Each structure stands twice: as C-alpha cells, then as structure tokens.
Chain A
Amino acid sequence: MFELLVLQCLNKINQERTVYNIFHLLKGKRSSQTLQDAHIYKLKNYFGIYKNINKKTFHSCIDRLTKHGYLENGSSSTCVVTDKGKRKLEQNRDLVQRTPFRGMEYSNVAQILLERLLLFIQTTTNIVSGNHIFIPITDKSEVLRWVKRIYRKNKEMLPELLEKLYSELMLFCESLPDQEACIFVDQLTGYRKYGLSKEQLAMKYNLPLEDVELKRALIIHKLINHINRVCQTTDLLPFFIKDLQQPFFLTTSAQKTYTLLQKGFTIEQITTLRRLKESTVFDHIVEIALVDPTLPIDPYVSKEAIDNILEITDQLHTIKLKEIRQALENQYSYFQIRLALAIAKNHRRRDVL
C-alpha cells in the first residue's frame, strides 16, 4: 500500500516537484509550500497521513520502486513514473483513485483522536476493574489533561460510558473490512491487557511496517468520517473531536497573518508588526487564498493578470512557476503567479460545487 501510494503521488506531481516534496506531504509538514503543493497537485488527501515517516524509510521505498522498474531517476531529485509504473497504478485503481484518506481535513485531528480514545479506554477499563495504578500509554500532556477532565466529570457513570462507547465503536468496526477491525481492536489497551505495537501488528498480519502505519491512519480517518456522518449528536464519539475541528487548515503563523489581514492591515504593516520577511507574508497569503475563496486579492494581483497567467498555464500545460514567468516576459512576480494559481484552484472547486 505504501509503495503504491508513493508511486501515485510521484505520478501526480509529474516531475514538477522533487521527491522530497512528497516526503514533506506525507509527513504533513505545515509549511506554505507543502500545503500549496497539496492543493495544486490534488494530493491533499495524502497530507500528513504518515507523520512518523523518516528519510530512511522514504528513500528505501523510492529505491525499491526504482529497482522494480516503476520509477526512473529524473534530473535534480525528481523521479519519472515509467510506463510499467503507470500500468501498476492502473491495476490498482480502486486503491489509489478513490482513496478513503482525508489527510488535509483529518490528519491533525486523527492523531489526537486516536490517543484520546486509547487513553480513555485504558483509563476507564482499569478504573471500572478497580485498578487505579497503571502507566498511561501516552505521555502527551494535552491528551492526559483531556482524559483527566472527562474522567473527573463522569466519575460516577464510568460503566455506563464504557458500555455506550462499546456499542458505538462496535457499530463502526462492523463497517470496516475484517482485517481493519482486527487491527483496530488489537491496538487497544485495557485492564491487564496492553495493545500490540506497530511491529507486532506487522508481524501478526504479515504486513510491512509502513503499511501498518498507513492502515492505522486510514482506520482513524474512517472513524472521523463515521463520526461526522453516522453518529448522533447525543453519541459519545463526537465528543472526542468536538473541540478539534477547525474551519480552515492553516499554519499557525499564517493564521496570525490572516487575523491581521481581516483587521485591515497591509502586507507592509504585517511585515513590520510581526517582524517577518516580506516573502514569508506572501507565502501566508497564498496559503490563505487556497482555503478561503472569499479573501480579497485585488490589492495584490489584478483580474487581468490572473487571466493572463491562467491562459499561459493552460497553453504550456505546466504549473512550473519559472516557465510561466518567463513566458510572460517576467512582468509578474512569483507571488502574483502563485496567487493566480491558488485562485484558479478555488474557482474550479466552486465550479464543481
């Protein structure tokens, strides 16, 4: 699964970005560049689905794909998907095209939801069994605090909560393929039973470690979907993510810039106020434009400029900034071109809607 997914991503960026951009994408690096790429190349479902990935794992995957003839090295850290690779993707259409991942929307919530759920189950099952001494399976203080708060509020009705959670999760598990339901249950820690580690899951289900990582992310994405679509407002599960979902997905720094923009500050003022480089604020604006179609952009790029840029983009069949800029005789800045591309994405999105 992991290899196919990397192959699919590389296919989409079509040599216009380096392999490292895919690495950052999977890791969910919250930089303007990564977020923009995710939107532009329609890879946002894969954003942040493998947060623990490291360079070594990623490189050995690229090496394996190359060895099997699915990839060839391109110039300066890019990779070309070979015909054999494309056929491989075609054969696995179901997996790669209708991907059930929702990285951009869920990856941030997913990790915390999982940890809250794991710790909540560990805590309640232990306490209901009369055991108050156990080592929590996560040491993230935000998760510990959250579970502690819930526990304090509901001390008197833990068995009822547990029963409710059980029936809600049972309903969710029944909607999963058998293997995913097994993995979901195996990773849980209860009273006198610690959950299986990634390495143990990999061994038990005869999967590569990378696939276990992805399957676990996938299950949680499905769970969030389930919570949003199937769960009732009186259910317990929605409570686990209620405070986590944000309207837009922005980097923290871009969020600050966004607030200032909404208050009417200019780029110059923001640069001085926040002691940032101008280019950083530019990055923020592009990032905001990608997620908020209502952002007024006339101050930065004219309607005419946008038309020109998009026309050239269509003609050249590229979204490489350098080529676009040269074709337009350098009359527009990179910032303006990026902004125009961001707007185009949003329009397309609006058309679809």
Chain B
Amino acid sequence: MTRDLEYALQQYYGHAAFREGQKEIIEDVLAGKDVLGILPTGSGKSLCYQLPARMVDGAVLVVSPLISLMIDQEKQLVATGFKQVIAITSFLSKSTKERVMHQLEQYKLIYVSPEMLQTKQLIDKLRSIPISVFVVDEAHCISQWGHEFRPDYLKLHQVVETLNYPTVLALSATATPDVQQDIIEQLKCERMVRHVYPMDRENIALSIEKVKNNQEKLHFLIDTLNKFPGPTMIYFSSRMWAEKVTDELCKHLPNLRTAYYHGGMEQADRLLIQQQFMNNQLDVVCCTSAFGMGINKKNIRLVVHFHLPTQIESYIQEIGRAGRDGKQSVSLLLFAPHDVSIPKRLIESELPSPMMINIVLQFLKERANTNQMLPDDKEVLEILQINEIQWRFLSYHFEKHGMIIESRILYNENIWMNRITSIQKVIKVRSEYKEQKLQELLQWAEGSACRRTSLFSFFQQTVKKPTGFCCDVCDFTFKTWEPSVVEQQHTKSDWRSAFKDLMLQGEIHVNEKPSRNS
C-alpha cells in the first residue's frame, strides 16, 4: 500500500515524497481508523484528505469553518483537473444548489460549513450517498478552549452518528494537549489515533521589535522593507490601518509593489490581489486576518504583525505562512506599550455585552408575543446591529436552553430570567479565559527568554533545532539577515506595448508558442 500511496502522490501532485506526518495519517485513515492529526501550518494538512478522496470508494466530506478557504481549495483543485469537488456554501445560487444536491453522488470531495450541516435537506441527501471519510478541518473550533470556538462544531458527533459512522479525521494546526483531549471527547471517538507533530518551524526566525508608537512602527517597516524587498505579509487588526500603511509604503518605497487586502473588498478584487501575490507581481500585502487562509505561496520571506493578535494560537498560525519552501524566513512583531488595547477591544467585540443581551431579549419577546418566528440569521444581524460571532454565540445558547426551538421562540419570563443569568456566567468565564490567553501572548512578548522555546512551551516540551537563526534574543538581527530577492517582472508603462505583450502579440512570444502536436 505504501508504494501505492507514493505512486498516487506522484501522479496527482507530482511530489516524490510525503512531508512529515502526511503518510502516517493517510495510512491510518485508509485503514479505517479514526485519526486526530496535529500538523503545523504550512505542512500540507489538506493533502491528508485530498489524496484519500481520490482513492476511497465513497466520498470524503470535509467540515470547514471558513467559506473562503473552502472556495479557494475548490478552485485550486478544479484548476489542476480534479473536477469532482464541490463546496456547499451559502454562496451557491439557489439553482446551482439544487443541481448540486440532485447529483451529489458524483462528487468525491464535498466541503460544507458546520452551519450547513444543520439543514435537514443536506443531511438527508448525505445519508443517501456513501460517505467514507468524515473530516473535521480546523478541529480546534470544537473546543470551548480552542481559540475559535464554533458552537455548531459541538453537534458534529450527531452528524457522524447519522451518517452511520464513517472514518473520522480531525485536523488542526494549533491545539494544546487540553484542546486535543477535548476534540476527542466532543467527537465521541475514544479510540482515535493521535498523530501529533511539533508545531515549531525550524526555518522561521522569531523577532520582536519594541517601539514607542505607530509612527515608529512605520519607520521601522520602511527601513526594513527598503533593505529586504522580498515577498512580505503584514498583518493588521483593522482594515483602515491596512489601507493607511499601504498608502505610506507606496509613497516612501515607490519601487516596492504594495497592495492591501481585507474582507471589505469584493470577491473579484480579492482574488486578483491574492493571485498577483502568488504570481510575484506584488512584493508586499497589507492585510487583515481575512487573508492567508489557503494561500500556499512558498516563498514568503517575512511575516510582520503590525498589531498584536488576540492569542498565541493565531499568532503561530499566521507566522506559519512564511518560508514554506524551507528557506530562512523571518517573523517580526512590532510591539508598542499601548498595543494591548486593540486585541482587548477585539475580544470584547466577540462576546455580547449585557446591554446587547437586553436588546436581543426585548426583540425576542416582541416576536414571541405577536406569534412570529425568528427571522433568518442575516435579517437578525441587520435588525439588531449585532455581529455574526455574537449572534452565533447567543443563538447557540438559546437553543441549548430550549428558549428557541427550530426558529420558534418559547418565551416565558421567569424561566428566561434564570437562563439568561447562566448565559451571562458563561460569557464571564469566556471573556476571562480570552483575557488570560491575551496575557499569555503579552508575557511572551515582554519576556526575555528565547522566543522559540517560550512560544512553543504551551504546546510541546521541546523545540527542533533551527536551521538558521533562532530569535532576536538568541542570535537574530536584521543586520545579519540576507534573504534571496525575487526578480521583479518589468511591466511596460505605456498601454499600447503593455496590451501587445499581454495579448502575446510581441515578437518574444512567437517562439514560445508550443506546437499543437506536443
């Protein structure tokens, strides 16, 4: 079988060898064992289910929390010629969705969001086709203590049962031992085989630059990028800052090709920026966390955090986008004294405030008194001016306490008062927990121990020996770093010749045309 696996890898991906962990996980999955796989970001997690999808008899169902990630993967697979893949998301038009549902058995790889899995129509359809492997991607979302808890993930074990126990594969890049245990318990797969691989990447040097304020951050950035104009991602906590710094970089470093990317842009424009970056048409992308999921650009040399993230897990995930080609790369955190207020605000915005709960209750009471059902999520968000994360949290708890059942609002003043008190307790515990996670990150950034050992100590006992530099405490300075620089493509500035080139009408291209018989 080992031979077969390597043959399949060569045939479908053109790779000669598996990366650490992939083969072990795939072998167990194909042998029908439930598997928990913890692989570092950028190590090719998705191959662990994409390859089996081409080899098993039935379909592989992948539950993924991020629609953009699913769509990216679908596009990439289709582009490489694997057409039996579909992402069932709210982005599908009604008619397309109907067509897809009608011929669901044709697909080998089916991506769904956990929310989608709660619709009866889809479940019924899935029951009627053979599902061989049930994949839970970003499995840390299942844990209350994971950094991106998604209430709908808690219902996944029921789906596994409904689908008559297909092989379960849970994957994550960031899960502490506690979270790993929680994933196994919540999925009710006690006999899960654990494949846990160290999360540290030996070719990424960690560095923190302490500055006084945003102005100094900008200066440092300009200096650094002036010397190292390699492929760079800069993470921001807000769209506004991503745009602003792009502006400044364009002004100060006109030779550097910089653009921004955030969730406020249209799908088509986002795709262009993403592909320009992949294609080395851009040197620097200033982005929010909306960027990067599913980006497998290999030669990113520098990942900068202009703002502090909210916990270590997302930090590790984001810096993991650097150096997928194995070459020396650097992560840089720009850290100023008052920075902590930004992640604090983010944490607050993720949980509903007491005032918001009152507004929601008032709304539900009115609907109940006039015998109206709960409108769909989109409408609720608009009426109540509440964000998606807050509403997901609340509606999960309302359902859990039987206050809302299948969009019916069962209002009872006394009972609800009690329930609300207990929901508020949960909120308190969660916000304290998140606060504590933020403190961990802060302590790490303010500490003076080796960045590498201290960052990964939350997840594992030891770290691998770095292939190049370790961190700014041990041996790294920007003075000694000499990254390879990607050659810039020269684009013509007058539109006539640019157009001629693009349409392959220039003389250079004539010779490149492949003959039709080849």
Q: Does A246 contact B (CB under 8 A)?
A: no
Residues of A within 8 A of B281 (CB): 193-194
Interface residues of B in 488-506 (CB under 8 A from A): 489, 491, 495-496, 498-505
With contacts A196-B272, A197-B272 taken as known, whether A141 is within 8 angstroms of B96 at the C-beta atoms is yes
Write out, one digit per residue, whether chain A residues 157-185 have a CB within 8 A of any chain B CB (1) or not (0).
00100110110011001000010011011
Q: Does A217 contact B (CB under 8 A)?
A: no
Asked whether, in the complex, the Cβ of A166 is within 8 Å of the Cβ of B503, the reply is yes
Partner of B516, one of A156, A162, A184: A156
Please judge, given known A-B contacts A135-B75, A135-B79, A203-B250, whether A198 and B269 are in contact too, CB under 8 Å: yes
Of all chain B residues, the one with the shortest Cβ separation from A201 is: B269
Which residue of chain A is the closest to B494 with respect to CB atoms? A182
The residue from A134, A156, A192, A194 contacting B272, defined by CB atoms under 8 A apart: A194
Give the distance in Å from the alpha carbon of A105 to the alpha carbon of B273 in the complex: 32
Residues of B within 8 A of A166 (CB): 499-500, 503, 505
Binary flags per residue of B261-278, CB closer than 8 Å to A gives 1, else 0: 000011111111101100
Q: Cβ of A125 and Cβ of B504 under 8 Å apart?
A: yes
Take A129-B509, A135-B75, A135-B79 as given contacts and tell me if A197 and B269 are in contact as well, using a CB distance cutoff of 8 Å: yes
Contact A197 B504 (CB under 8 A): no
- Cα separation A134 to B272 with both chains bound (whole Å): 12
For window 251-267 of chain A, which residues contact chain B by CB distance below 8 Å?
Answer: none
When distances are taken between beta carbons in the complex, the residues of chain A under 8 Å from B489 are: 192-193
Q: How far is the CB of B60 from chain A (nearest CB, A)?
A: 22
Would you call the interface of chain B mostly helix, strand, loop, or mixed?
helix
Tell me the complex Cα distance, A197–B491, Å: 16
Q: How far is the CA of A200 from the CA of B270 in the complex (A)?
A: 11
B504 touches A128 (CB 8 A): yes
Which residue of B is nearest A134, CB measured? B79
Give, as a whole number of angstroms, the nearest-CB distance from A224 to chain B. Answer: 20
Tally B residues with Cβ within 8 Å of A: 41
Whether B502 pairs with A188 at a CB distance below 8 angstroms is yes
B502 touches A199 (CB 8 A): no
- Is B79 a contact partner of A185 (Cβ separation < 8 A)? no
Task: With CB as the reference atom, state the residue of chain A lying closest to B500.
Answer: A166
A-side contacts of B516, CB under 8 Å: 156
Task: Enumerate chain B residues within 8 angstroms of A130, measured Cβ to Cβ.
Answer: 512-514
Q: How many residues of A contact B (CB 8 A)?
A: 43
B259 lies within 8 A of chain A by Cβ: yes
- B371 surroundings in chain A (CB, below 8 A): none
Q: Which of B76, B271, B273 has the most CB of A within 10 A?
A: B271
Which residues of the partner chain A approach B514 to less than 8 Å between Cβ atoms? 129-130
Q: Is B11 an interface residue (CB 8 A)?
A: no
B279 interface hit (Cβ, 8 Å): yes
Which A308-346 residues sit within 8 Å CB-CB of chain B?
Answer: none
Q: Are A138 and B268 in contact (CB under 8 A)?
A: yes
Closest to A174 in B: B496
Cβ-based interface call for B260 (8 A): yes
Contact of A195 among B265, B272, B495, B512 (CB under 8 A): B272
Bound CA span A70–B265, Å: 30
Contacting residues, chain A, for B75 (C-beta < 8 A): 135-136, 139
Chain B CB within 10 A, most for which of A134, A169, A170, A199: A199
A191 beta carbon closer than 8 Å to chain B: yes
Task: Check A189 for interface membership: any CB of B closer than 8 A.
Answer: yes
B76 near A135 with CB under 8 A, answer yes
Task: Return chain A residues, CB-CB under 8 Å to B503.
Answer: 121, 125, 162-163, 165-166, 169, 190
Question: Lowest 3 CB-CB distances: which A-B pairs, in order?
Answer: A197-B269, A190-B502, A166-B503
A sample of 9 inter-chain contacts (CB < 8 A) reads: A139-B267, A162-B504, A162-B505, A165-B503, A185-B499, A190-B501, A193-B491, A197-B272, A200-B259
Knowing that A125-B502, A192-B279 touch, tell me 13 more A-B residue pairs with CB under 8 angstroms.
A128-B504, A130-B512, A134-B79, A137-B268, A166-B505, A178-B495, A184-B495, A188-B502, A190-B503, A194-B272, A197-B259, A197-B268, A199-B260
